[in-house]
């Protein structure tokens, strides 16, 4: 019996270690842990923010998360109050609701109008879930006020009932073929020379990991065919003229007081140039993307839809 | 005595039949209830007295799967052990096989009851979804039920006819055991088709749900990969659970005889578990690759999305299994006279295993704060980033397996001294070796030919030719190994083959993995299979070689069964807890990959439980499942042992 007791204690210790690791990993991966939170409360909201809501694909909070596509939400409560005043809204909460329900109404300076409506496919958050996220966002520099959120209940839509019909390309294509083309560096222009997916590829352009979850097919089609239409924040082309009269067009990889590192496209190859402050005559952001605008000519129809299907599959 | 057995037998059959009838009756009632509701409003979801339906189904299905894994895995090695006993005439093997079957018999009724409970839960809590599944699969469900009868009859026939068929009819008894395995495995394959249909539906119209081909729905894309993975995993599971049973018995044993018996049983359990564990990563890789092929979205969710972090936990559990298995083997060398000659290798194997574990554990994308990122200058750590990618992970998995195999080889020869020249083993050994090497080479040639005929663009295809060269080198190495063995240099031949394999699979292909990741990423999948093929071919040839080289070798010492340090028994317990937890974790991942779909791409889960739980929540739930399973299995084993205690007292 004593041996059985020792076995039980040993087993519980091993399982305790397992639970500890699960909690530790949850902390690292950005989840809230502690079980399934439900209802309208910050705990549930936090879980949705880092989970099903997929907010963390674009937003970080302080040093938590690594996304830069959307604004970092640290201290959001105070920022929301300021923006509400700026927009003539009654409170910071109303601003937050507007940002979620009609995200295109106001776009934070320096960012692009790329936020999807989270109550529509593919994210499909319900009213209660959105309210929970709101309560969580209120805690970022402030206090949650559930009663106030409830007052705005009618302004928050329920999850769309529209049947989720996946995007069907006009011709039959295989996302796996699209993936192959995406990473095929034997081509004249290779997507992965500038974009990263799942840790593979380069970081000249925006990281496309999870892009299918947050962007519509229409946005991606436009981004491939007309890359200058919307340029993701931080990836604008920089026009740099040196003191000896040389001109460069590229993306700023890093900029410090000591140096500016520019990634320049040289006939399909990305070259890295380092400039010191005394070498720079002028720097100016351009409205034209460094991404080639001739993908319509470079890709066949099948290749184009293959890449599109692949990008949409990245959720 | 006979009356007792008879009534027990009838009782268990009655439980099995009762469970089956209950399920059928419930199906009829449930489907009738559903039809009756059609006029009003169809109930899609219910909860279980206020408890989330998903949680209830999660727990019950995992418990059913764990018991099923045990009752499917154990008969495979019980029959194998019995065959060894029948061939060798060693009664110990026969007794061991019987003890395994005693545990099996006790667990079988619980498995059936759990199956019944699961069916209740599914039909009661997810009526809409189950109505559809029944519509699609009802012909197979009837076959499943009939096979269940066949399995039950074979199992109880196998267990209760042990004494009757012991003297005359041993091979008929073994035949019963084989049929038990055939029916059990077929049952699992049938049930797997339902689970994999939910992940990769086929044979239906994805818009309307109308069944277009039952055969296609049954033989869906992920069916065979899951079958193979589960089959191997069940053997490992059964082996480690039996090992833990033996460990607890060993720790409580009073007599040296009992200690020796349970020590031996624990060793066999560990051996079976480790033997099945070695090919498991390959089966897992195959399954993962097929999930990617079935749905790139699901593949990305698994490796780059919501579930990617769960693989860190998986790596820790698999690390526990390899470290625990090796630790047990090294401790086992304490009971072998002559083992001290090989102790010097253990420290090196230890270092290699921990290194492999560390690399396997390292994520590619470290969670860094803004400051840390600024300090490093990029998202990835300058050194550890190389450990986070598949090229490095594939290499260390193969090194881990080769190291564990090496551990096993030194364990096997621990008390062996001078060996006989290979020529003394006669033509049968020569023929067995030629057949083994021949089949292995045939496989390598087949795969190399497959690679050479791949339809790829010339720029990509150039990266495949080094893989073909590696396979040719390995084939040549196997031929040289056989020739060296025939020249009575068998031990050297083994070392030669292990070195060549390590150089190809671990050193060269690890380096080349980074090259293809950079230049032709899609070649990585062929590279991984090449690595696996080279390692497997080495394991097979070396293992068969080892059997013959050390046949009738001079023994320098005895194996003192029962004289193993007590701490080794905790390693057996660790192996059991780790494999049960791992099965719980992998069940969560496999099922969770569908995200908010009952049937991926066709039927959405609109219930309250349709969200992906956090890893912490999964941790708690899996722990609860593991505790429940271990408690139930301990109780069932205790019940099975009551008869033995009664016999001891009577004696």
**Across all residues in chain B, what is the average pLDDT?**
85
Size of the A and B interface in Cβ pairs below 8 Å: 157
B252-266, B378-392, B455-469, B627-641: the lowest-pLDDT one = B378-392
pLDDT for residue B224: 94
Write out pLDDT tens, residues B332-353: 888 888 888 888 888 888 889 8
**Residue B549 is encoded by which pair of tokens?**
């080289």
Helices (H), B220-279: 223-252, 256-277
What confidence tier does B14 reach under pLDDT thresholds 50, 70, 90? Answer: very low
Percent of chain B with pLDDT over 90: 43
- Rounded to the nearest 5 degrees, what angle is found at the Cα of A78, between the Cα atoms of A74 and A79? 70
Domain that holds residue B408: 352-558
What confidence tier does B648 reach under pLDDT thresholds 50, 70, 90? Answer: low
Contact A22 B618 (CB under 8 A): yes
A77 CB-near residues (< 8 Å, 6+ apart): A92, A137, A138, A139, A140, A141, A142
Residue B331 lies in a domain: no
A241-255, B375-389, B563-577: the lowest-pLDDT one = B375-389
Residue B36 lies in a domain: yes
- Most confident of the ranges A110-119, B301-310, B389-398, B467-476: B467-476
Q: Is B617 on the interface with A (CB under 8 A)?
A: yes
pLDDT for residue A133: 93
Q: Which of B616, B623, B625, B629 to mutate to test the interface with A (most CBs of A within 10 A)?
A: B616
Nearest-angstrom CA–CA distance, B471 and B464: 11
pLDDT for residue B241: 92
What beta strand segments (E) does chain A contain? 196-197, 200-201, 237-242, 247-255, 260-266, 269-275, 280-285
Nearest-angstrom CA–CA distance, B91 and B170: 13
pLDDT for residue B82: 92
What confidence tier does A167 reach under pLDDT thresholds 50, 70, 90? Answer: low
Q: Is B348 on the interface with A (CB under 8 A)?
A: no
The domain boundary residue, chosen from B531, B558, B585: B558
Q: Is A31 on the interface with B (CB under 8 A)?
A: yes
pLDDT for residue B339: 85
pLDDT for residue B30: 45
With 50 as the cut, is the pLDDT of residue B6 above it? no
pLDDT for residue A101: 93
Residue B115 lies in a domain: yes
B439 versus A116: the higher-pLDDT residue is: B439
pLDDT for residue B197: 95
With 90 as the cut, is the pLDDT of residue B247 above it? yes
Q: Is B296 on the interface with A (CB under 8 A)?
A: yes
Nearest-angstrom CA–CA distance, B323 and A229: 55
With 90 as the cut, is the pLDDT of residue B444 above it? yes
Contact B611 A15 (CB under 8 A): no
pLDDT for residue B517: 77
Q: Is B366 on the interface with A (CB under 8 A)?
A: no
Longest dimension (CA), chain A: 87
pLDDT for residue A315: 64
pLDDT for residue A66: 53
Write out pLDDT tens, residues B512-528: 988 887 777 678 778 88
B:217-256 residues touching chain A, CB 8 A cutoff: 244, 247-248, 251-252
- Rounded to the nearest 5 degrees, what angle is found at the Cα of B18, between the Cα atoms of B17 and B19? 90
With 70 as the cut, is the pLDDT of residue B644 above it? no
Nearest-angstrom CA–CA distance, B30 and B331: 55
Residue B456 lies in a domain: yes
For residue B54, the chain A residues in CB contact (below 8 A) are none
Q: Is A256 on the interface with B (CB under 8 A)?
A: no
With 60 as the cut, is the pLDDT of residue B17 above it? no
Question: What's the domain count of chain B?
Answer: 2
Determine contact, residues A175/A306, Cβ cutoff 8 Å: yes
Write out pLDDT tens, residues B68-92: 999 998 899 899 999 988 988 888 8
pLDDT for residue A179: 86
What confidence tier does A115 reach under pLDDT thresholds 50, 70, 90? Answer: confident
For residue A2, the chain B residues in CB contact (below 8 A) are 252
B181-187's contacts with Cβ under 8 Å and 24+ in sequence apart are: B181/B75, B181/B76, B181/B79, B183/B147, B183/B150, B183/B151, B183/B154, B184/B71, B184/B72, B184/B75, B184/B151, B185/B72, B185/B231, B186/B147, B187/B72, B187/B144, B187/B147, B187/B148, B187/B151
B144 versus B306: the higher-pLDDT residue is: B144
**Residue A260 is encoded by which pair of tokens?**
């500016």
pLDDT for residue B379: 56
Q: Which residue of B has its CA nearest to A49?
A: B614
Percent of chain B with pLDDT over 70: 88
Average pLDDT over residues A109-134: 81
Q: How many CB atoms lie within 10 A of CB B9?
A: 15
For residue A166, the chain B residues in CB contact (below 8 A) are 601
Contact A183 B617 (CB under 8 A): no
B577 CB-near residues (< 8 Å, 6+ apart): A11, A14, A15, B244, B626, B630
pLDDT for residue A268: 61
A292 versus B416: the higher-pLDDT residue is: B416
Q: Which residue of A has its CA nearest to B571?
A: A10
Residue B77 lies in a domain: yes
The domain boundary residue, chosen from B558, B591, B625: B558
With 80 as the cut, is the pLDDT of residue B267 above it? yes
**Residue A228 is encoded by which pair of tokens?**
């200058």
What confidence tier does B619 reach under pLDDT thresholds 50, 70, 90? Answer: very high
Q: Is B581 on the interface with A (CB under 8 A)?
A: yes
* H/E run at residue B466: helix B465-486
The domain boundary residue, chosen from B532, B558, B584: B558
Q: Is A175 on the interface with B (CB under 8 A)?
A: yes
pLDDT for residue B63: 95
Contact B617 A34 (CB under 8 A): yes
Residue B394 lies in a domain: yes
Average pLDDT over residues B175-191: 94
Residue A140: DSSP 8-state: S
- Most confident of the ranges A227-231, A236-240, B134-138, B420-424: B134-138
What confidence tier does B172 reach under pLDDT thresholds 50, 70, 90? Answer: very high
With 60 as the cut, is the pLDDT of residue B442 above it? yes
**Across all residues in chain A, what is the average pLDDT?**
80
Residue B12 lies in a domain: yes
pLDDT for residue B650: 57
A2 CB-near residues (< 8 Å, 6+ apart): B252
Average pLDDT over residues B557-586: 92
Residue B381 lies in a domain: yes
pLDDT for residue B31: 45
With 50 as the cut, is the pLDDT of residue B134 above it? yes
pTM for the full model? 0.68
């Amino acid at each position: 019996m004593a041996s059985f007791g020792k076995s039980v204690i040993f087993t519980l210790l091993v399982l305790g270690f397992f639970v500890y690791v699960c909690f530790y990993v949850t902390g690292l991966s950005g989840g809230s842990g502690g079980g399934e939170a439900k209802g309208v409360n910050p705990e549930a909201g936090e879980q949705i923010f880092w989970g099903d809501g997929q907010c963390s694909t674009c937003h970080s909070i302080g040093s938590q998360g690594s996304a830069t596509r959307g604004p970092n939400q640290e201290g959001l409560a105070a920022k929301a109050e300021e923006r509400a005043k700026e927009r003539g809204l009654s409170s910071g909460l109303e601003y937050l609701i507007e940002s979620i329900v009609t995200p295109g109404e106001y776009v934070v300076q320096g960012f692009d109008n790329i936020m999807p409506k989270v109550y529509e496919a593919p994210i499909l958050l319900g009213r209660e879930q959105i309210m929970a996220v709101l309560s969580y966002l209120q805690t970022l520099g402030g206090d949650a006020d559930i009663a106030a959120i409830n007052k705005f209940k009618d302004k928050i839509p329920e999850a769309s009932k529209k049947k989720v019909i996946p995007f069907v390309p006009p011709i039959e294509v295989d996302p796996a073929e699209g993936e192959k083309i995406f990473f095929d560096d034997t081509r004249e222009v290779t997507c992965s020379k500038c974009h990263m997916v799942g840790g593979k590829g380069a970081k000249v352009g925006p990281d496309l990991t999870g892009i299918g979850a947050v962007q519509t097919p229409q946005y991606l089609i436009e981004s491939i065919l007309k890359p200058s239409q919307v340029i993701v924040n931080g990836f604008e082309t920089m026009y740099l003229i040196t003191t000896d009269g040389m001109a460069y067009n590229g993306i700023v990889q890093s900029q410090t007081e000591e140096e500016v590192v520019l990634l320049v496209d040289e006939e399909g190859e990305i070259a890295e140039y380092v400039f010191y402050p005394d070498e720079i005559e002028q720097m100016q952001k351009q409205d034209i993307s460094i991404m080639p605008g001739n993908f319509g000519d470079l890709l066949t129809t099948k290749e184009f839809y293959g890449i599109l299907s692949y990008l949409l599959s990245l959720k | 005595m006979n009356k007792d057995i008879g009534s027990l037998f009838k009782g268990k059959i009655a439980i099995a039949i009762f469970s089956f009838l209950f399920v059928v009756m419930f199906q009829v009632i449930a489907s009738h209830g559903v039809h009756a509701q059609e006029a009003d409003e169809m109930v899609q979801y219910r909860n279980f007295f206020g408890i989330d339906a998903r949680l209830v189904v999660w727990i019950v299905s995992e418990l059913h799967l764990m018991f099923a894994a045990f009752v499917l895995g154990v008969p495979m090695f019980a029959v194998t052990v019995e065959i060894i006993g029948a061939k060798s005439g060693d009664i110990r093997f026969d007794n061991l096989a019987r003890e395994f079957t005693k545990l099996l018999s006790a667990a079988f009724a619980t498995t059936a009851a759990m199956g019944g409970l699961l069916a209740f839960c599914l039909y009661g809590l997810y009526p809409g979804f189950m109505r559809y599944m029944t519509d699609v699969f009802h012909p197979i469900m009837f076959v499943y039920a009939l096979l269940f009868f066949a399995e039950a009859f074979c199992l109880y026939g196998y267990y209760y006819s042990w004494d009757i068929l012991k003297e005359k009819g041993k091979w008929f008894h073994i035949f019963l055991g084989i049929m038990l395995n055939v029916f059990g495995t077929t049952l699992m394959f049938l049930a797997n088709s339902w689970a994999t249909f939910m992940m990769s539906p086929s044979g239906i119209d994805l818009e309307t749900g109308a069944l277009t081909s039952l055969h296609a729905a049954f033989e869906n894309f992920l069916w065979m990969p899951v079958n193979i993975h589960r089959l191997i995993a069940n053997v490992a599971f059964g082996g480690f659970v039996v090992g833990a049973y033996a460990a607890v018995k060993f720790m409580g044993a009073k007599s040296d005889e009992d200690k020796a018996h349970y020590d031996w049983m624990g060793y066999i359990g560990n051996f079976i578990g480790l033997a099945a564990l070695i090919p498991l990563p390959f089966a897992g890789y195959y399954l993962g690759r097929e999930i990617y092929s079935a749905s790139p979205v699901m593949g990305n969710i698994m490796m780059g999305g919501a579930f990617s972090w769960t693989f860190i936990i998986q790596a820790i559990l698999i690390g526990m299994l390899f470290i625990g298995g090796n630790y047990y083997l090294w401790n086992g060398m304490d009971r072998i006279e002559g083992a001290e000659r090989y102790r010097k290798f253990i420290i090196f194997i230890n270092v290699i295993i921990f290194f492999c574990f560390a690399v396997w554990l390292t994520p590619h994308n470290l969670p860094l704060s803004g400051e840390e990122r600024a300090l490093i200058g990029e998202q990835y750590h300058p050194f550890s980033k190389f450990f986070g990618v598949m090229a490095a992970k594939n290499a260390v998995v193969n090194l881990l397996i080769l190291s564990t195999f090496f551990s096993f080889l030194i364990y096997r020869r621990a008390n062996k001294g001078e060996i006989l020249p290979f020529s003394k083993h006669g033509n049968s050994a020569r023929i067995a070796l030629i057949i083994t090497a021949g089949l292995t080479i045939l496989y390598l040639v087949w795969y190399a030919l497959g690679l050479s005929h791949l339809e790829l663009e010339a720029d990509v295809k150039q990266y495949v030719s080094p893989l073909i060269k590696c396979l040719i080198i390995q084939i040549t190495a196997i031929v040289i190994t056989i020739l060296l063995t025939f020249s009575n240099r068998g031990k050297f031949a083994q070392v030669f083959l292990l070195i060549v394999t390590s150089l190809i699979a671990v050193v060269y292909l690890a380096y080349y993995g980074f090259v293809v990741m950079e230049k032709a990423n899609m070649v990585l999948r062929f590279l991984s299979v090449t690595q696996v093929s080279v390692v497997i071919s080495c394991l097979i040839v070396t293992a068969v070689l080892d059997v013959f080289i050390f046949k009738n070798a001079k023994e320098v010492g005895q194996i003192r069964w029962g004289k193993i340090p007590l701490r080794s028994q905790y390693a057996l317990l660790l192996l059991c807890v780790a494999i049960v937890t791992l099965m719980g974790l992998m069940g969560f991942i496999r099922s969770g990959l569908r995200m908010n779909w009952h049937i991926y791409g066709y039927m959405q889960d609109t219930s309250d439980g349709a969200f992906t739980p956090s890893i912490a929540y999964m941790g708690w739930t899996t722990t609860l499942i593991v505790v429940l399973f271990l408690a139930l299995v301990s109780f069932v084993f205790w019940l099975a042992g009551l008869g033995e205690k009664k016999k001891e007292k009577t004696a």
